[in-house]
A and B are shown apart, each in its own frame.
Chain A
Amino acid sequence: MSIFKKIITAVRGGAREAGEAIVDANSTRIFEQEIRDSEKHITIAKRDLTEVMAKQMQAARELAQLQTSIKEHEGYALQALEKGNEALAIEVAEKIGELEANATDQQQANESYLKSADRLKELIKKSERQLTDYKRQLSMVKTTESVQKATSAITDNFTASNSKLLNAKDSLERIKQKQAMFDDKLKAAEQLEAENDDSSLKAKLQEAGIGAQQSSAQSILDRLKAK
């Protein structure tokens, strides 16, 4: 069964009781071990690939040398024939035969190394895809478990503190009320501020002798005397 299905089945089904895991701890450990093993295999395969590629380059170099050598000897053989030295030409031809046999061997080795390298590269890619998938699956299991554990911690906390999650609409209503109260307070403070500004302007006007003047003791006395 895929991990995805396991999680759905577990979440829908009986695994809701606290402590019951989606995939038991032992399987998770085995899974983690598999991931470590795959990583090790990939490292080894990459090392093998380096070796094979080095050998292939060596074979290719030797093949090129042999081919140069064959061309050289073909030249020698032709020169020996031109000079009428058939015996020497045959000796050279034998040497060419040897070189060609060697070249064929190197050619085969070269091809086989190339094939191995291709196969290893494919293998590494496949293992890397597999590893990414293992990691994704493990992350799903671990996340599901972590959410379950977090949920049970949250639920326990609510039970312990004798509080409970409010109904969504009530919660929103309360938050809105608090927000409205805060806004009202802010507005009241602004109004107060504005009024203060207003009274300070009045004071300035009075000081400048503009507008209604406060009656001073002297002016009251003057008024009384005038009566």
Chain B
Amino acid sequence: MNIHKIATHLNQLQDETETGFDFDCTPIDGDIDVLQVEILGREEIPIFLSISDNQILCIAYLWGEDEVKTELKANMMEAMLEMNIPMPLSAFAKVEDKYVVFGALSINSTLDDIELEIVTLSDNSLEVISEMDTYLK
């Protein structure tokens, strides 16, 4: 599995999609290959996909440390921990100063699995921002 195969698959889905979304994928240059996946209508919160030796990682950036109401930070983190298991396919994490939701898939996942992961991650991220907005500035 490589990001170009995933990009080609998602870009050509159109009416064949089983999730009902349209995708726009752009590879990003860097030390390792990263694929930026935009879901049409949700361009503001793209999904970033990268592939390492044994897994495929999909990450959606939620908010930065600077967006969190400082006095509510502990409550926010507790809410995140409590939501972590119920949230399907995704988990919370922090990358540098950004809070993220991510999903890790086996390198042997099918393209359909990857599509479902991306869509679920996108749904989760919108829901999380909407539900957690009391903790945000």
Q: Which residues of A are interface residues toward B (Cβ below 8 A)? A: 16, 139, 142-143, 146-147, 149-154, 156-157, 165-172, 174-175, 178-179, 182
Chain B 49-84 per-residue mask, 1 if CB under 8 angstroms from chain A, else 0: 010111101010111100100000000000000000
Q: Which chain B residue has the least Cβ–Cβ distance from A143? A: B52
Q: Which residues of B are interface residues toward A (Cβ below 8 A)? A: 28-32, 34, 36, 41-42, 44-45, 48, 50, 52-55, 57, 59, 61-64, 67, 95-96, 98, 126, 129-130, 133, 136
Interface on chain A toward B: helix, strand, loop, or mixed SS? helix
Write the nearest CB–CB distance from A171 to chain B, whole angstroms.
Answer: 4
Residue of B28, B45, B57 near A153 (CB, 8 A) is B28
Beta-carbon contact of A179 and B41 below 8 Å: yes
> Contacts A146-B32, A152-B30, A182-B41: A168 and B67 contacting too (C-beta < 8 A)?
yes
List, sorted by A's number, 15 A–B pairs whose CB atoms are closer than 8 Å. A146-B32, A146-B57, A147-B50, A147-B95, A150-B48, A150-B57, A151-B95, A152-B31, A154-B36, A156-B30, A157-B29, A167-B67, A168-B133, A169-B67, A172-B129
Kindly list 17 other residue pairs between chains A and B, CB separation below 8 angstroms, not including A139-B54, A157-B29, A178-B41: A142-B52, A142-B53, A146-B50, A146-B57, A149-B31, A150-B34, A156-B30, A165-B61, A165-B98, A166-B44, A167-B63, A168-B129, A169-B67, A169-B129, A172-B129, A172-B133, A175-B44
